[in-house]
Amino acid sequence: MSDVRWLYLHGFASSPQSTKAGAFVAWGKVRGLAIDALDLRVPSFEHLRFSAIKARVREAIGGERDRAVLIGSSLGGLTACRVAEEEARVCAVLAMAPAFRLADTWRAKVGESTWERWRSEGRLEVDDFGTKQKRPLDFAFVEELAALDAGDADVRVPVLVVHGTRDDVVSVERSRTWSRGRRNVRLVEVDDGHELGASIPRILAEAELFFATFGAGP
């Protein structure tokens, strides 16, 4: 629909130039949809804040009477669900490998000693896939993320979740648990990892069906 803003939300350490972002922008273009791939490195990569990311999305939606469709990958998928939970202006969400309880995932991945060092020193060098370099990241980001993602997002609008069964970053079990019992949520599992690179054609096909309600069909 022409009066709906279409926003793509990239994942952590990714960028608006990611492969999936480009695929969705191109998918939208041939359907007359202007999908805006937002830059969510706010206020900067080193000083990322989940609250600032959500604020950036809200700002991009527009005015009080505007509506938006959110398409998010990993951290972007989590952000899409959290914004949709809080914003009546969001009318649908497509979340790919949404990073539910991401702070818990990172803590388990880096181990307690590195986690405590990160806490005490305030920063940790992490992979930045957007620049293909190691860059410091504030501990305050994961600390805030843990607090703001403490519970399950209660999203009432239609949601399509796509998650890889071989995801070793965010377990598919988290999407299974979150989707269970929610009539407005459809979970599609694919034989893929966290990046979902091999599943892009399937994801776009699922998007075609899911968004048909909003006039995005061929």
**Residue 42 reports pLDDT greater than 90:** yes
Q: Does any domain span residue 190?
A: yes
More confident residue, 89 or 151: 89
Q: Does any domain span residue 144?
A: no
Q: Does any domain span residue 121?
A: no
- Going by C-alpha positions, the residue among 97, 109, 102 that lies closest to residue 144 is 102
Distances (CA, A) of 124 to 107, 128, 142: 12, 12, 11
CATH number at residue 94: 3.40.50.1820
The predicted pLDDT at position 213 comes to 78
For the chain, the domain total comes to 1
Residues 8-29 pLDDT 10s: 999 998 999 999 999 999 999 9
Q: Does any domain span residue 135?
A: no
Contact by Cβ (8 Å): 188, 204: no
Q: What is the pTM of this model?
A: 0.94
Pick the range with the lowest mean pLDDT from 31-45, 63-77, 128-142, 173-187: 128-142
**Residue 2 reports pLDDT greater than 60:** no
Residues 162-208 pLDDT 10s: 999 999 999 999 999 999 999 999 999 999 999 999 999 999 999 99
The predicted pLDDT at position 129 comes to 82
Inter-axis angle of helices 200-210 and 19-29, to 10 degrees?
40
- Domain, as residue range, for 36: 4-103+150-214
